[in-house]
Each structure stands twice: as structure tokens, then as C-alpha cells.
Structure 1
Amino acid sequence: MFGPVNSILSLIFWLISVTAFVMSVWALVHAVRIPARAFAAAGKQTKQLWLIILGFATLFTFAAAVNYGGIGTGLPNIFTIAAIIASGIYLADVKPAVTMYRSGGSEGPYGPW
């Protein structure tokens, strides 16, 4: 069902797809661990919206990484590219903003006490 990697180009696309899947999972796990009030305090979209976006991003990148039953060419499609962009926006913009609201009062201005 899943054919062997016959060329260097298909290997590169497969590695990109696996990397995109790992990035989406990382963003989704981070979003799950952050409290909902941190998103509002940072002025970002709601936690529920980000969980939906990142859930679909993880699904689409997983399908690209395993080539979903051998259907298709294995190349990233528009949904995979949109998933990579959504995960990248979360990791580059939202994650740094909400991470500082994660823990309670045990952190000072220069790190944990």
C-alpha cells in the first residue's frame, strides 16, 4: 500500500511532511497545556478556536506524512500548506505571548525563584 521511497525528491517531500506533522503536534500539545485565560490575557484568539485550527492542522499533516492509504502523489496539497502556516503562526506569535501567563506566581522578572 505504501510504496518505497523511489527517489530523493519523494524522500525530501516525505521528510517535509513528517516535520510538518511534528510541528503541528507540538503546537497542539502546547495549546492544550495552556489555560484558556492566558489566551484572553495575551489578546489572542480563544483557546477553543486554536484547538480546532491546530487539530485540523495535525490531521492534515498526518495525512500528508502517511500519504493516507497511498492515495495521491504524496506531494503537499493546499490543506497541508495551510496547516503548516497555521502551526507556524501559533508557534511564532501565539506561543510566546501565552507562555508568560502559564504559571502562577512563582516566577520573578528574571525567571523562576
Structure 2
Amino acid sequence: MGIVGSLQWILYLLFLLVIFALCVWALVDLLLRPASAFPSAGKRTKNFWLLILAVATFLAFLALPPLQLLPFLGLLSAVAAIVYLVDVKPAVAPYSRKRRGPGRGPGGSTGGW
């Protein structure tokens, strides 16, 4: 393998690692959102997205170099994660913000004297 082949292998590995990281990020974000936020935002249910992203993360893991089973499915994993992160996550974000307790926001009591 020459220099060009080595560079291609490194770029391929980085590409697959980025896809896997996107899938993990989307899955973790999904798990932190309340289930009620999804219908409120007009999106599919949390269980639907959990199934899609869990399968996508699993396929992205299988596409990594030591296993390299069905590496083209890594691209489908990227599509699922990107759709969630670009479309669903911003839509459900306003419905899943944490409520601030007293004294923890602008205009609230800050304690002290």
C-alpha cells in the first residue's frame, strides 16, 4: 500500500468514526428528551426514533474497520442520525427544556442579603 492508499484508508476510517459518533450523539440526545415532547412538536414518537437510531448506531458500529460488515450501511446510519439532529432535535428542544427553580433565572431572587 502506497502513500495514497494509506491516506485513503485514514480518511475512510475517519469518515466511519464520524458517522458512528453522530449516531451515538443522536441516540444519547434522544434518550435525554421526554417522550411527550415528540408528539407536541408534531414528530414521530420517541419509540420510533429510538428504534431507528439504535439500529443506525448498531450498523455504524458494524461498519467500523475491525468488523467491516456491510460498510455501505454506515451511510444509511449517517442519514438517520443527520435527519434526527437537523430536523427532530430542534423541533423537540422547546418542549424538553428543564424548568428553572426559584432564584435560578433572570429576574429571580439570587439569594444573599
With normalisation by structure 2, the TM-score equals 0.78
Structure 1 residue 22 corresponds to structure 2 residue 16: no
Tell me if structure 1 keeps the 8 A contact 2:26–2:81: yes
Root-mean-square deviation (CA), in Å? 2.0
Identity of aligned residues (%): 36
Q: Which structure has the larger Rg over C-alpha atoms?
A: 2
* Structure 1 unmatched runs, 5+: 1-5
Q: 62, 86, 92: which is aligned to 2:80?
A: 86
Q: Distance in 2 between matches of 1:66 and 1:58?
A: 15
* Structure 2 unmatched runs, 5+: 106-113
Q: Distance in 1 between matches of 2:94 and 2:27?
A: 17
Higher RCO (Cα < 8 Å, 6 or more apart): 1
With normalisation by structure 1, the TM-score equals 0.78
Q: Which amino acid aligns with 2:34?
A: P
Q: Which amino acid aligns with 2:40?
A: A
Moved more, 95-104 or 16-25: 95-104
Structure 1 residue 13 corresponds to structure 2 residue 18: no
Q: Aligned runs of 1:89-100 on 2, under 5 Å?
A: 89-100=83-94
1:103 Cα deviation after fit: 2.5
Q: Aligned runs of 1:1-113 on 2, under 5 Å?
A: 7-68=6-67, 76-77=71-72, 79-106=73-100, 113=105
Q: Distance in 2 between matches of 1:18 and 1:81?
A: 12
State how many pairs are aligned: 99
